[in-house]
Amino acid sequence: MEGYAALQIPTHAVIFNVTERENGTTRALQERGLFESQNFATAVYHSALTYQLRNLGYEIEAGKSGAPQIKGYSQEYLDASSLRSQQIQEQLTKPATVDTRLRRSQLTRPATAKTSFRRRRS
């Protein structure tokens, strides 16, 4: 969203469920451990983000699901300044079927970087 100064900048952490064996082939990790540690990883991320924001001089309070929020902004202000929220509200005013709602939600999402993986050949 070029030229748009967003107050709400989403961040994501991605952990790939893949490992490389000694012989160079790849396989999935045991996923249970990843799922069990997800809440812990999220808490560590929120804690680090809160620490960095406070070091920059911001007052922080816990928001939804414990995510850090910069103190002093009302929800109404955040909603009004969110281009994504505005796009969603715009689409919701138009009549739609379930199928077109799904397509509209995809149309209002910003393009993401495409990644690809190549398997190593043994």
Q: Are residue 91 and residue 41 in the same domain, yes or no?
A: no
Q: Are residue 18 and residue 66 in the same domain, yes or no?
A: yes
Query: Residue 97 is part of which domain span?
Result: 74-110
Q: Are residue 12 and residue 63 in the same domain, yes or no?
A: yes
Give residue 25's pLDDT band: very low, low, confident or very high (50, 70, 90): very high
Q: Are residue 12 and residue 45 in the same domain, yes or no?
A: yes
Q: Are residue 13 and residue 58 in the same domain, yes or no?
A: yes
Question: How many domains, in total, are found in the chain?
Answer: 2
Q: Is the pTM of this model over 0.75?
A: no
Q: Are residue 18 and residue 51 in the same domain, yes or no?
A: yes
Each residue's pLDDT tens digit, 49-104: 899 999 999 999 988 778 888 888 887 887 777 777 777 778 778 776 777 767 76
- Secondary structure (H, E, C), the chain: CCCCCCCCCCCCCCCCCCEECCCCCEECCCHHHHHHHHHHHHHHHHHHHHHHHHHCCCCEEECHHHCEEECCCCHHHHHHCCHHHHHHHHHHCCCCCHHHHHHHHHHCCCCCCCCCCCCCCC
Q: Are residue 79 and residue 49 in the same domain, yes or no?
A: no
